[in-house]
Structure 1
Amino acid sequence: MLTPEEVAHYHETGQVTPNYRLGDEVVCAIKEKMEAHFATTPELDLNGSLRYAPPATSQFTDCLIETDRTWLDYAIDPDILDAVSQLLGNDIIVWASNIFCKEGKGDKATPWHQDGLYWPMRPLRACSVWIAIDHSTPDNGCLRIIPGSHKEQRALRHGAGNSGQRVLWPSDQTIQGADMPDVDPVDVVLEPGMVSLHDVFTIHGSAPNASGERRAGLVYRYMPASSHYDRHLGAKLGGPYPEGSHMSPERSAVSELHLARGVDVCGLNEVWQPNA
């Protein structure tokens, strides 16, 4: 799926938008499935939407596959797995599934952060795949990355901010001071069905969405099966996240590991076999 140039771009910048998109029928099915999910799951305000995000303007839900196995179908799309395998190797585990939805009614910004600060896999290697459900533009708060910020493959210092205009963590966690690279951010502009892939150490965030247009994306997290998803480590890592958050210790305890391709090279992961 990825050309040699796209693979090189990923390794250079920490993100790539390949020349590929899901078909219109697939995107329509995902959109309808998402809207039905939010409409029929009112408890999302407690367990899905981040509690410190205004549910009327911004929705987040986690554990999609754990609550409905049919969400796994999109995660194991052969074209997507081909792309991930070019970046992580041929033995791949899907370990998380999320929807990020900004309704466009004055949503807050998402701070500059790295995904893997409290992710309990060692070695810490992972790739996130964002599937655009709606148009994603600078006006409606598209994903933004700091190119090259992944190259040292290390977790940077995060701390509490005080802007009051950020959402994702209760204490306004963001990368601090000198740890933030002096590099211009890049907007990841997507049309429905387009896909973005980014590295676990890539610094990213998003601006508020006051456009009046919804911006929703379906996100899957992949790790190489050579890494160990250590649930005990997840409980120790903790972090400033409330119960129900996709980065809480509770989340790491219930995460299902689906062996999407290959074998569990590590031998320590409790994996499910899709379609087994």
Structure 2
Amino acid sequence: MEHAKENVKLRQLLEDGYCIYENILDEAMLERLRETAERLAEEQTTAERALNRSTGSMIPVTKDPVFAELVAWPRALDALASLTYSDPKFYGGYVISKPPQSPPLFWHYDYPVWDHPDAFEKKPHQLFLMYYLTDTSPFNGCLRVIPGTHLYDNPLHAELEEAHSRKLLQAEDLDSPAFSMRPDEIDVAVRAGDLLIGDARLLHASHANRSDHRRTVITLWYNPDFSTFSEPLKAFYSSLKTMPPDSWPAKAKQLIEPLWTQYDGEAEPLPWNRIRPMRGSVNRK
């Protein structure tokens, strides 16, 4: 990766809240992920599918050891290193598969530590790494974002209720602001195998999947600079990790072991808080 391009990616991540690295996964890995994700999605019960009508499936990646390879995928870790994050830590992720003819995903952010005194600093505490298993477009449910909203207030912030409520998950009211089209939103269409990296504070949503095929994304959560965190913040993110079952092969466990968040101190974790305070600044810089 060329140094100039790395600077562009880092600047985009810090200023817009996301960036894209193309062709990170090879076709062989994509096929393995597709087969596994399809099987896991088909195993869901009717009740599970109804519960997550807006998001699509929310299947922990600890359901199958193939995801250990994805968590430790060398080209993805190289991408993070090119963003100056050479020692990232991982705590969980999901297979999110939107069924055919399913509604949009509601507007939300995923950052859960708004009581942290540095919640609005430019450097991210939490990143999502998204791998779409098919090419995306507005027709099949590509991502939508409002650039800069990881740092600055937007009118939509004041209109949103807490994310992931039952009402939103089941898409009960598609006329609510959480499902609205926004004048400053942009579509983020990617190709299968690309890596989309984003700040957890960024307002994002997705279009409805109007196609006749699943639109699946695997979302992994990393702390890019875990070693620099305060002890309460380390304690918080370490408490979120979802460990794999004992049935995982030793090789898969060993692959992911160095990447887990780990805190062995005695500090109390910061409280869970997904209610974003208004910063009082709407100017992007």
- TM superposition shift of 1:115: 1.0
2:22 is aligned with 1:19: yes
Quick one: distance in 2 between partners of 1:260 and 1:183?
Answer: 43
Kept in 1, the 8 Å contact 2:140–2:208? The answer is yes
- Map of 1:108 onto structure 2: 103
- TM superposition shift of 1:100: 1.4
- Map of 2:185 onto structure 1: 185
User: Which among 5, 13, 16 is matched to residue 10 of structure 1?
Assistant: 13
User: Which among 61, 64, 85 is matched to residue 61 of structure 2?
Assistant: 64
Kept in 1, the 8 Å contact 2:105–2:205? The answer is yes
SS of structure 1 residue aligned to 2:56: strand
Change (3 A) 1:193 1:123: same
- TM superposition shift of 1:52: 4.6
Quick one: distance in 1 between partners of 2:39 and 2:204?
Answer: 29
Quick one: distance in 1 between partners of 2:175 and 2:148?
Answer: 18
Structure with the higher helix share, 1 or 2 = 2
Change (3 A) 1:69 1:143: same
- Map of 1:221 onto structure 2: 221
Alignment of 1:72-111 (within 5 A): 72-87=68-83, 89-105=85-101, 107-111=102-106
Quick one: distance in 2 between partners of 1:63 and 1:120?
Answer: 26
Quick one: distance in 1 between partners of 2:184 and 2:44?
Answer: 39
Structure with the higher strand share, 1 or 2 = 1
Q: Runs of 4+ in structure 1 displaced over 6 angstroms?
A: 118-123, 169-177
Change (3 A) 1:101 1:61: same
AA of the residue aligned to 2:226: A
Structure number with the bigger relative contact order (C-alpha 8 A, sep ≥ 6) is: 2
AA of the residue aligned to 2:128: S
- Map of 1:244 onto structure 2: none
- TM superposition shift of 1:196: 0.7
Change (3 A) 1:86 1:256: farther
- Map of 2:209 onto structure 1: 209
- Map of 1:256 onto structure 2: 243
Q: How many correspondences in the alignment? A: 236
2:34 is aligned with 1:31: yes
Alignment deviations for residues 200-233 of structure 1 (CA, whole Å, 9 cap, x no partner): 1111001211222321111111013234354599
Quick one: distance in 1 between partners of 2:196 and 2:80?
Answer: 11
Kept in 1, the 8 Å contact 2:91–2:260? The answer is no
Kept in 1, the 8 Å contact 2:144–2:185? The answer is yes
Quick one: distance in 2 between partners of 1:4 and 1:102?
Answer: 34
Change (3 A) 1:160 1:96: closer
AA of the residue aligned to 1:80: A
- TM superposition shift of 1:20: 3.2
Larger radius of gyration: 2
- TM superposition shift of 1:62: 3.0
User: Alpha carbon RMSD of aligned pairs, Å?
Assistant: 4.1
Quick one: distance in 1 between partners of 2:198 and 2:95?
Answer: 16
Alignment deviations for residues 16-44 of structure 1 (CA, whole Å, 9 cap, x no partner): 112333111111111011112233x3458
Quick one: distance in 1 between partners of 2:258 and 2:174?
Answer: 32
Please identify, of 21-30 and 84-93, the stretch whose mean Cα deviation from structure 2 is larger. Answer: 84-93
Unpaired runs of at least 5, structure 1: 235-251, 270-276
Change (3 A) 1:255 1:261: closer
SS of structure 2 residue aligned to 1:31: helix
TM-score normalised according to structure 1 size? 0.69
- TM superposition shift of 1:136: 1.0
Alignment deviations for residues 151-182 of structure 1 (CA, whole Å, 9 cap, x no partner): 2499x553179xx9x853678799979xx9x7
Change (3 A) 1:209 1:123: same
Change (3 A) 1:143 1:152: same
Change (3 A) 1:28 1:69: closer
- TM superposition shift of 1:74: 0.7
Alignment deviations for residues 221-268 of structure 1 (CA, whole Å, 9 cap, x no partner): 10132343545997xxxxxxxxxxxxxxxxx4x62396655995x654
AA of the residue aligned to 1:93: K
